[in-house]
Amino acid sequence: MTETASSTEQATADIPAPPVISDLDNPEYYINRELSHLQFNIRVLEQSLNEDYPLLERLRFLLIFSSNMDEFFEIRVSGLKQQIEFAREQVGLDGMQPAEVLKEISQLTHEHVSRQYAILNDIMLPALADQGIRFIRRNQLTEKQASWVKNFFFQQVMPIISPIGLDPAHPFPRLANKILNFIVELEGKDAFGRETGMAIIPAPRSLPRIVRLPDNLCEKGGENYLFLSSIIHQHAEDLFPGMTIKGCYQFRITRNSDLSLDDEVDDLASALQGELLARRYGDAVRLEVADNCPRHLADFLLRQFALTESELYEVNGPVNLTRLMDVCNTPTHSDLQFRPFSPGFPKGLPIGLPKNSDRLFDVIQQEDILLMHPFQTFTPVVDLLRQAAKDPHVLAIKQTLYRTGANSEMVDALVEAARHGKEVTVVVEIRARFDEEENLKLARRLQEAGAIVVYGVVGYKTHTKLMLIVRREGRRIVRYAHLGTGNYHAVNARLYTDYSLMTCDKDLTNDVHKVFQQLTGMGKAVRVKKLFHAPFTLKKNLIDLINREAENAREGRPARIILKANALTEANVIKALYKASQAGVKVDLVIRGICSLRPGIEGLSDNIRVRSIVGRFLEHTRVYFFQNDAEPKVFCSSADLMIRNLDHRVEACFPIENPKLATRIKKELDLYLTDNTGSWKLLPDGSYEQNRPVRNQKPRNAQQALLETLAS
Interatomic CA distance for residues 464 and 487, integer angstroms: 9
Model confidence, pTM: 0.91
Predicted confidence band at 3 (pLDDT cuts at 50, 70, 90)? very low
30 is in an annotated binding site: no
Kindly report the CATH number that applies to the domain delimited by 27-101: 1.20.58.310
Residue 597 DSSP code: B
Look up the CATH number of domain 359-527. Answer: 3.30.870.10
Amino acid at 494: R
Question: CA–CA separation, 335 vs 705, rounded Å?
Answer: 21
Q: Which range, 355-359, 383-387, 585-589, has the best average confidence (pLDDT)?
A: 585-589
For residue 700, say whether it is annotated as part of any ligand binding site: no
Annotated catalytic residue within 463, 489, 513, 533? 463
Q: Using one digit for the tens of pLDDT, what is the confidence trace for 657-694?
A: 999 999 999 999 999 999 999 999 999 999 999 999 99
233 is in an annotated binding site: no
For the segment 453-466, the average pLDDT, to the nearest whole number, is 88
The 3-state DSSP class for residue 455 equals coil
CATH architecture of 533-710: 2-Layer Sandwich (3.30)
Check the annotation: does 138 bind a ligand: no
pLDDT at residue 285, rounded to an integer: 96
Max avg pLDDT among 179-188, 263-272, 287-296:
287-296
Amino acid (one-letter) located at 87 = A
Residue spans in the chain of domains classed CATH 3.30.870.10: 359-527, 533-710
Residue 415 to residue 448: CA distance in whole angstroms: 9
3-state secondary structure of 469: strand
Whether the CB-CB separation of 459 and 263 falls below 8 Å is answered with yes
Beta pairing, strands 223-227 & 133-135: parallel
- 37 assigned ligand-binding residue: no
592 is in an annotated binding site: yes
Per-residue pLDDT at 2:
47
Query: Known catalytic residue: 393?
Result: no
| pLDDT tens digit sequence for 587-615 | 999 999 999 999 999 999 999 999 999 99
Could you give the residue range(s) of every CATH 1.20.58.310 domain in the chain? Answer: 27-101
User: Rounded distance, CA 361 to CA 367, Å?
Assistant: 10
Question: Residues 277-292: pLDDT tens digits?
Answer: 555 678 999 999 999 9
Amino acid identity for residue 206 in this structure: S
Q: Is the pLDDT of residue 353 over 70?
A: no
Burial string for 270-279 (b: 16+ CB within 10 Å, else e) reads: ebbeebeeeb
pLDDT tier, 263 (very low <50, low <70, confident <90, very high otherwise): very low
The pLDDT of residue 167 is: 79
Bridge partner residues of 400 (DSSP) = 427
Q: What is the largest CA-CA distance in the chain?
A: 103
Question: What architecture (CATH level 2) is domain 125-260+284-336?
Answer: 2-Layer Sandwich (3.30)
Q: Where in the chain is the domain with CATH 3.30.1840.10?
A: 125-260+284-336
Which range (266-275, 378-387, 596-605) has the least confidence?
266-275
Residue 261: pLDDT band (50, 70, 90) is very low
Please list, in sequence order, all residues whose beta carbon lies within 8 angstroms of the beta carbon of residue 87, skipping any fewer than 6 positions away.
Answer: none
